[in-house]
């Protein structure tokens, strides 16, 4: 990949990423590790070139196929919660989408396993991860409702699309002392919830209101 494109210029430059990190800090993101990664990851590469000048706005953007790249604050917030108590070694992400959330996680944890049901997004993100040299990423084209049984258990599981209820298979693939994070509910607004698994039992916490695309089953394309 051309280094100028990777580093960005103008509205996609490192200085713009610095300003984004500053705004995230002002908005309540406190974890310095997360803010540092948000400075490093070139979000403009995860959106269409026509939208690159808007990549560092704190807003969700379309990536095609009825999907979006989450706003940076939501990515940072979910990441901050995920590593708050300890950094998980292995994380399962359900819904690769653009690949941005997975790239942020990969900069912080040992291994990210990520599932995408839309073939075009799977192939696009796969190529981008290779171009960026992200070596601790495993990808699968599959149905997120099924999870990734052969790779389980996971220290953490994060959903980037909203189911009406979390699929039981995902709870089964969570390691003891692990946590699962998901936006839950129908319509345009959901609740971000976190479950901790301790001795086989689950403690549930509601964090805040969020807005995600609905979680779908099956494979498309």
Q: What is the pTM of this model?
A: 0.93
Q: Which helix (H) or strand (E) holds 210?
A: strand 201-210
Query: What are phi and psi for residue 52, nearest 5 degrees?
Result: -60, -35
User: In this structure, what DSSP letter does residue 54 have?
Assistant: G
Residue 4 is predicted with a pLDDT of 44
Residue 187 is predicted with a pLDDT of 72
With beta carbons less than 8 A apart as the criterion, state whether 92 and 158 touch.
yes
Mean pLDDT by 10 residues, the chain (221 residues): 53 83 97 97 94 93 95 97 96 98 98 98 97 97 98 98 96 97 88 95 94 95 87
Axis crossing angle, helix 32-40 with helix 14-27, rounded to the nearest 10? 150
Tokens, residue 209: 């209101």
Does the bond joining 153 to the residue before it have cis omega, within 30 degrees of 0? yes
Q: Encode 9-24 in three state secondary structure.
A: CHHHCHHHHHHHHHHH
Cα pseudo-dihedral 102, 105, 107, 113, rounded to 10: -60
With beta carbons less than 8 A apart as the criterion, state whether 7 and 14 touch.
yes
Active-site residue flag, 150: no
| Among 53, 70, 98, 150, the one annotated catalytic | 70
Query: What are phi and psi for residue 29, nearest 5 degrees?
Result: -80, 120
Nearest to 144 by CA among 61, 59, 216: 216
Q: Could you give the C-alpha distances from 208 to 77, 78, 93, 153, 219, in angstroms and in order?
A: 10, 11, 20, 27, 30
């Amino acid at each position: 990949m051309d280094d100028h494109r990777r580093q960005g210029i103008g509205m996609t430059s490192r200085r713009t990423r610095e300003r984004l990190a500053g705004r995230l800090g002002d908005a309540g993101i406190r974890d310095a590790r997360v803010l540092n990664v948000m400075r490093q990851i070139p979000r403009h590469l995860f959106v269409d070139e026509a939208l690159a000048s808007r990549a560092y706005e704190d807003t969700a953007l379309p990536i095609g196929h009825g999907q979006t790249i989450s706003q940076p604050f939501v990515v940072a917030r979910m990441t901050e919660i995920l590593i708050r108590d300890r950094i998980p070694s292995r994380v399962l992400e359900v819904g690769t989408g653009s690949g941005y959330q997975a790239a942020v996680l990969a900069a912080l944890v040992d291994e990210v396993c990520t599932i995408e049901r839309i073939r075009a997004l799977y192939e696009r993100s796969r190529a981008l991860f290779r171009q960026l040299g992200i070596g601790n990423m495993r990808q699968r084209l599959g149905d997120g409702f099924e999870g990734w049984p052969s790779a389980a258990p996971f220290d953490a599981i994060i959903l980037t699309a909203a189911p009406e209820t979390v699929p039981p298979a995902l709870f089964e693939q969570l390691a003891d002392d692990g946590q699962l994070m998901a936006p839950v509910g129908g319509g345009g607004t959901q609740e971000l919830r976190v479950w901790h698994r301790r001795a086989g039992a689950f403690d549930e916490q509601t964090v805040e209101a969020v807005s995600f695309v609905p979680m779908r089953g099956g494979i498309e394309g």
